Structure 1
Amino acid sequence: MAASAGQELKGRVAIVTGASSGIGKATAVLFRRRGARVLAVARDRKRLDALAKESGAEPFAVSLDSAEACEQTVAAARKLGPVSILVNCAGRGGHEDKPIFDQSPAEWRATMAVNLDAPFELTRLAARDMRDQRWGRIVMVSSTAGEVGAPAMSAYCASKHGLIGLMRSVAHDVAPYNCTCNAVLPGWVKTEMADRDAEKEAARRGLTAAQVWQERADAYPAKRVLSAEEIAEVIAFLASDAASGVNGEAMTVSLGSLW
């Protein structure tokens, strides 16, 4: 039986990482509005508690930088029921700001742990529930930086490229079980992480953060940047029954620009 209007995800158990702010938070709120039972995952317990109060999502505070933390996350989600949807949105960015010859192995490993290793671990575990249910949706939140390079961002760009490759392989593995795996590649979205990046760029170039954001907007045909809610809507579509025929796709959401 089809879900009633506005309840497209009713009864689905969803893990949304990076849920304390930005795209992850917008996705958790939208999923709850559409009927999903949501495990909202992030490091900041205070923000997660506020999100839980606002939306009814189940908060789970953890740093997704180890396999053990990912196992704990999936175990917590299973208390709500078998996992049907996984949105890998947690990300680490804006920590490099140095050309490759000045970057440290520690920064590389820290970025990879959150941006690529955690999605692998969470997908590996959650996909077993989806296989057993013969229904599942996995969405990797990559970036337009997953298809192009950028100066002083080698670890971030490499991790986002890797996320797309992981998605394309997983899509083949899960397809026989009525499951899909896709990626969303947002362009510039007004989030706290992007704000921090804008402030760093502004300081480096002798501009204000507002001027940097204006440059970003001017680079897009629509002359504006995106909102977290716009990205969440695309993720919700990919997580729905309506997207049953979409698998292995890297969906760019950048207002017509490649970056």
Structure 2
Amino acid sequence: MSAAQAIAGTHALVTGGGSGVGKAVALALAAAGVAVTICGRREAALAELAKANDGIFGLAADVTNEADMASLYQKAEAARGAFDIVVANAGMAGSAPAHKTSLADWQRTLDVNLTGAFLTVRPALAGMLARKQGRIIFVASTAGVKGYAYVAPYVAAKHGVVGLMRGLAAETAKSGVTINAVCPGFVETEMLEESIQRIVEKTGRSADEARASLASTNPQGRFIQPEEVASAVLWLCSDAARSITGQAISVSGGETW
């Protein structure tokens, strides 16, 4: 039985599902026969993706808002059943030297990347434990396993996501639920383009120079594609990965391991 056949007919939640890695994950899961609920704050992007794909359903929600996530679970599970798969992907990143980082910027980065990840998966845990099955995957970052300059809040938040994953995996290891993180390097998405623009504005380098500088962190000399991250997520959802839990899997061309 293929990975796609094994998860066909299940129900997945993908946060930040309207663009970038989240969109690629949602499309990969839908292609495998999974009913996919995507959420985000940009309703137009969610509606556009859902309209073009019968297996994808969009619900607007803010992952930092506990009431929003509770409402999302209630609506989605009433319509399509309990979530078998939860992919906590929503995230954001800013850039500034640590001594110029405001408390508000620090808190916002942790709220979206770390607290948002917790609020995304917490409502699924009790049901998955009762059913003795489920897949939870955090989309973290190589910033969750190493440091980068000028993004200290993001590094701290993504290290926190990896720690959250490991703690939850230890709690659930005997239950049939697996919990892992995928840690991509620089992925060619809208967020990457925003990072390149910030480098251009702050350093005066050209966009090509900024791109080359970021791509050079990957020993393969390239950016990761969203579909590569989606493939790793798809495998972790499959029965073939039933013994994989508590792992931070680097998708980075050898940048980290």
Same fold? TM cut 0.5: yes
Does the 8 Å CA contact 2:3/2:240 hold for their aligned counterparts?
no
Q: Which amino acid aligns with 1:89?
A: N
Q: Please name the residue that 1:62 is paired with.
A: 61
Moved more, 155-164 or 113-122: 113-122
Q: Please name the residue that 1:42 is paired with.
A: 40
C-alpha separation in 2, matches of 1:77 and 1:112: 26
| 1:3-53 Cα deviation digits (max 9, x unpaired) | x67433211111000101110000001000001111111111111111102
Does the 8 Å CA contact 1:13/1:82 hold for their aligned counterparts?
yes
C-alpha separation in 2, matches of 1:5 and 1:174: 22
Q: Please name the residue that 1:136 is paired with.
A: 134
Q: How many residues are treated as equivalent by the alignment?
A: 255
Work out which of the residue numbers 238, 241, 244 in structure 2 matches 1:243: 241
C-alpha separation in 1, matches of 2:227 and 2:176: 27
Does the 8 Å CA contact 2:169/2:179 hold for their aligned counterparts?
yes
Does the 8 Å CA contact 2:3/2:238 hold for their aligned counterparts?
no
CA drift of 1:151 comes to 2.1
Q: Please name the residue that 1:85 is paired with.
A: 85
Moved more, 68-77 or 177-186: 68-77
| 1:146-185 Cα deviation digits (max 9, x unpaired) | 1222222121111100000000010011222201000010
Does the 8 Å CA contact 1:16/1:40 hold for their aligned counterparts?
yes
Q: Please name the residue that 1:228 is paired with.
A: 226
The alignment's TM-score, normalised by the length of structure 2, stands at 0.94
CA drift of 1:219 comes to 3.5
CA drift of 1:213 comes to 1.3
C-alpha separation in 1, matches of 2:140 and 2:217: 20
Q: Matched residue of 2:137: which SS?
A: strand
CA drift of 1:243 comes to 0.5
Q: Matched residue of 1:220: which SS?
A: coil
Q: Please name the residue that 1:149 is paired with.
A: 147
C-alpha separation in 2, matches of 1:29 and 1:35: 10
Unaligned 5+ segments in structure 2 are none
| 1:55-86 Cα deviation digits (max 9, x unpaired) | 22010112222111221222233121111111
C-alpha separation in 2, matches of 1:190 and 1:158: 22
Work out which of the residue numbers 172, 175, 179 in structure 1 matches 2:173: 175
What is the CA RMSD across the aligned residues, in angstroms?
A: 1.5
Q: Please name the residue that 1:11 is paired with.
A: 9
Q: Please name the residue that 1:73 is paired with.
A: 72
Change (3 A) 1:135 1:149: same
| 1:126-158 Cα deviation digits (max 9, x unpaired) | 111211221100001110111222222121111
Q: Which amino acid aligns with 2:126?
A: R
Q: Which amino acid aligns with 2:35?
A: R
Moved more, 80-89 or 143-152: 143-152
Identity of aligned residues (%): 35
Does the 8 Å CA contact 1:66/1:113 hold for their aligned counterparts?
no
C-alpha separation in 1, matches of 2:72 and 2:165: 20
Q: Matched residue of 2:183: which SS?
A: strand
Q: Matched residue of 2:7: which SS?
A: coil
C-alpha separation in 1, matches of 2:6 and 2:189: 26
Q: Please name the residue that 2:195 is paired with.
A: 197
